[in-house]
């Protein structure tokens, strides 16, 4: 013991803890568990990366989310690997690509036997809860494995007066605005007396369509003029399916999630409908920012803020007119680039905000949270902990990742998509699904000089070598991650009919 005492004095706190542990063992007592961090994850739906003040949006101000970034980490290049709600949510929980976890569309349940981040934490002694939009299994609002407390609803939910199933007790209508209601439910759960560390996921409906701001924010952006993006009219070098999408549910001349009543409409005056849609989209996020501020306040009031990993993120991005498109699903930047902000003094001091520019993925959330909590790691996953990356160690960090999306008969406006993104380049192609040659032109972008993806270089002979290099990298990633063979449905082409009302 004398020797250990000397080591502890010379080497600091870590050995002092070891010395304390040895003392307890010698005296036949159990060493006290170090206080483990709590976890709060606030998950929005369809929020693009630049729909934040901290990301530089000139009109949308999000002071509470920005405060998290100012006291923590802002991940400037955070991406989803499938830009679709259910697959992306399953990737966040499992650390796996969609083809590996099996949730490849919006109608599939998270597999009961697939290990998940909340399940691991629950087994490690955490009290776990999910409150809000779950969106894996359209008609199931019952509790899911891995959670001690579970509140959700069937389908998309509504901005007003949603029917929630509260911890398996049956669904009932809860009056009020969705964002406010789930925030209140989360606050009530957080305030419970407990002896365990806690894990809470709060799933917002916002800013998913149909965008409906609270009355207090309904006119927040009335003075902001919005036009179609320039790229909407520069489709000459793009695959033809993108122009075919213009008049559909997912095109700028279509119904715009019911903000346009008569469609298709390509008249110049119809841009007003587009403007109203964007205003409403932003308006729903103002309420989300209020929610973040309320949860922050409660954690501080509880004395738990400094011991809580506070995460703000989204499941996927959104095209707001870029290349003539609305919605998501494609591999273009607005569709895949999403927000991620984390505040945790155990990761970074609150007085020194950090901006991470390396590419981080939805796949990395689960391994990173488990690492920060000192919990067992998930096995055979595709993500990795970004703990060392945030600390400044970028050695062995990924230089490329792959994207996958499968054609949906319910939303026949986007082909099968497979692609690869490196720090500087992006290659996208559109497989038919039956092994025959692609029927759509591929896309190649030099993101380092063309971040807006304005110039498709796929037919420029000067870049043939780069295309072949990226094709080889994509094939290697598919094989490495178990997508061999790469299964997908048949691309049945772009269609114009509206989706069924119940799944919009």
- Per-residue model confidence as pLDDT tens digits over 208-234: 999 999 999 999 999 999 999 999 999
Judge whether 86 and 391 are in contact, CB under 8 Å: no
CB under 8 Å to 219, separation ≥6 — which residues? none
Look at residue 34 in the predicted model and tell me its pLDDT. Answer: 64
pLDDT-based confidence at 12, cuts 50/70/90?
very low
Between the two ends of the chain, the Cα-to-Cα distance in Å is 67
Q: Which residues pair with 77 in a beta bridge?
A: none
H/E element holding 44?
A: strand 38-44
Quick one: how far is CA 90 from the chain centroid? 10
Percent of residues, the chain, with pLDDT higher than 70? 93
Average pLDDT over residues 40-55: 98
DSSP string across 379-407 = SS-S----HHHHTT--TT--SEEEEEE--
pLDDT exceeds 90 at position 23: no
Model confidence at 138, pLDDT cuts 50, 70, 90, reads: confident
Backbone angles phi, psi at 246, to 5 degrees: -55, -40
CA separation for the pair 397, 394 (Å, rounded) = 5
pLDDT at 21: 31
Cα–Cα distance for residue pair 193/179, rounded to 1 Å: 24
Distance from chain centroid for Cα 55: 16
Residue 16: pLDDT over 70? no
Question: 360 or 31: which carries more pLDDT confidence?
Answer: 360
**Cβ-based neighbours of 303, under 8 Å, separated by 6 or more:** none
Residues 6+ apart with CB under 8 A from 438: 429, 430, 431, 432
What pLDDT sits at residue 11?
37
Handedness of CA 464, 382, 451, 234 (dihedral sign): positive
Q: What integer pLDDT is reported at residue 502 of this predicted model?
A: 80
Q: What is the crossing angle of helices 365-373 and 85-94, to 10°?
A: 30
With a cut of 90, say whether residue 31 has pLDDT above it.
Answer: no
497 closest CA partner among 384, 410, 388, 390 = 410
Is residue 26 predicted with pLDDT exceeding 70?
no
Region 486-498 average pLDDT? 96
**Would the pLDDT of 447 be above 80?**
yes
- What tokens were used for 329? 């699903």
Query: How far, in Å, are 106, 113, 252 from residue 101 at the CA level?
Result: 13, 10, 33
* Averaged pLDDT score across all residues of the chain: 93
pLDDT > 50? residue 2 = no
Contact 127, 199 (CB under 8 A): yes
What average pLDDT does this structure show over 365-386? 98
pLDDT at 204 over 50: yes
List the beta bridge partners of residue 419.
Answer: 403, 428
Report helix, strand or coil for 272.
Answer: helix
Between CA 367 and CA 53 the distance in angstroms is: 28
Interval 100-131: pLDDT, tens: 999 999 999 999 999 999 999 999 999 999 99
Sorting pLDDT into bands at 50, 70 and 90, what band is 503? confident
Closest CA to 289 of 63, 73, 69, 75: 63
Number of helices followed by number of strands (H, E) in the chain: 13, 19
pLDDT at 216: 98
CB crowding 370-388: b at 16 or more within 10 Å, else e: bbbbebeebeebbbbbbbe
259-281 confidence digits (pLDDT tens): 999 999 999 999 999 999 999 99
What tokens were used for 473?
Answer: 């990298």
The pLDDT value given to residue 87 = 98
CB 166 within 8 A of CB 188: no
In this predicted structure, what is the pLDDT of residue 341? Answer: 98
Q: Which phi-psi region, left, alpha or beta, contains residue 454 (left: φ > 0; alpha: ψ -120 to 50)?
A: alpha
Query: DSSP E strands: which ranges in 315-413?
Result: 319-320, 326-327, 337-338, 340-343, 354-356, 360-361, 400-405
For residue 94, which of 120, 113, 117 has the smallest C-alpha distance? 117
- Cis ω for the linkage preceding 9 (within 30 of 0): no
pLDDT at 151 over 70: yes
Per-residue pLDDT at 501: 83
Query: In which region does residue 170 sit, left (phi positive, over 0), alpha (psi from -120 to 50) or beta (all else)?
Result: left
Q: Which two tokens stand for residue 350?
A: 């609150």
Instruction: Answer yes or no: is pLDDT of 5 > 50.
Output: no
CA pair distance 59, 206, nearest whole angstrom: 18
Mean of the pLDDT values across residues 359-367? 98
- Model pLDDT, residue 385: 98
| Residue 15: pLDDT over 70 | no
């Amino acid at each position: 013991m004398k020797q250990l005492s000397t080591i502890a004095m010379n080497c600091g706190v870590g050995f002092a803890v070891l010395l304390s542990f040895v003392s307890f063992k010698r005296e036949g007592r159990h060493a006290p568990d170090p206080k483990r961090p709590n976890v709060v994850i606030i998950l929005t739906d369809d929020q693009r990366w630049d729909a934040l003040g901290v990301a530089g949006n000139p009109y949308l101000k999000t002071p509470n989310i920005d405060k998290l970034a100012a006291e923590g980490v802002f991940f400037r290049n955070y991406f989803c690997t499938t830009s679709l709600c259910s697959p992306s949510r399953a990737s966040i929980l499992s650390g796996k690509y969609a083809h590996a976890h099996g949730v490849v569309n919006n109608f599939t349940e998270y597999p009961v036997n697939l290990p998940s981040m909340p399940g691991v934490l629950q087994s490690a002694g955490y009290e776990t809860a999910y409150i809000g939009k779950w969106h894996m299994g359209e008609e199931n609002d019952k509790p899911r494995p891995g959670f001690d407390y579970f509140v959700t609803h069937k389908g998309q939910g509504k901005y007003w007066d949603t029917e929630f199933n509260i911890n398996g007790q049956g669904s009932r209508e809860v009056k009020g605005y969705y964002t406010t209601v789930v925030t209140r439910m989360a606050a009530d759960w957080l305030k419970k007396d407990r002896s365990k560390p806690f894990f809470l996921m709060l799933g917002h409906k916002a800013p998913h369509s149909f965008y409906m701001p609270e009355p207090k924010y309904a006119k927040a952006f009335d003075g902001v003029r919005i036009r179609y993006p320039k790229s909407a009219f520069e489709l000459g070098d793009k695959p033809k399916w993108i122009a075919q999408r213009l008049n559909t549910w997912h095109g700028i001349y279509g119904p715009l999630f019911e903000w346009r009543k008569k469609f298709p409409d390509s008249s110049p005056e119809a841009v007003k409908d587009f403007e109203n849609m964007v205003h409403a989209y932003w308006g729903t996020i103002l309420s989300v920012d209020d929610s973040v501020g309320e949860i922050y306040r409660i954690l501080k009031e509880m004395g738990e803020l400094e011991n809580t990993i506070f995460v703000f993120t989204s499941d996927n991005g959104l095209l707001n007119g870029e290349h003539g498109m609305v919605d998501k699903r494609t591999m273009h930047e607005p569709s895949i680039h999403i927000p991620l902000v984390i505040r945790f003094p155990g990761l970074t001091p609150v007085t020194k905000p950090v901006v991470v520019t390396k590419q981080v993925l939805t796949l990395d959330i689960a391994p990173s949270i488990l690492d920060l909590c000192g919990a067992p790691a998930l096995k055979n996953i595709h993500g990795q902990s970004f703990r060392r990356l945030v600390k400044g160690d970028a050695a062995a960090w990924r230089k490329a990742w792959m994207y996958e999306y499968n054609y949906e008969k319910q939303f026949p406006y986007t082909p099968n998509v497979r692609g690869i993104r490196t720090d500087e380049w992006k290659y996208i192609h559109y497989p038919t699904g039956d092994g025959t040659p692609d029927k759509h032109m591929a896309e190649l972008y030099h993101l380092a000089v063309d971040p807006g993806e304005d110039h498709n270089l796929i037919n420029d002979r000067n870049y043939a070598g780069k295309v072949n290099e990226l094709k080889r990298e994509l094939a290697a990633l598919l094989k490495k991650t178990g997508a061999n063979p790469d299964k997908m449905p048949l691309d049945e082409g772009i269609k114009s009919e509206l989706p069924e009302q119940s799944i919009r």
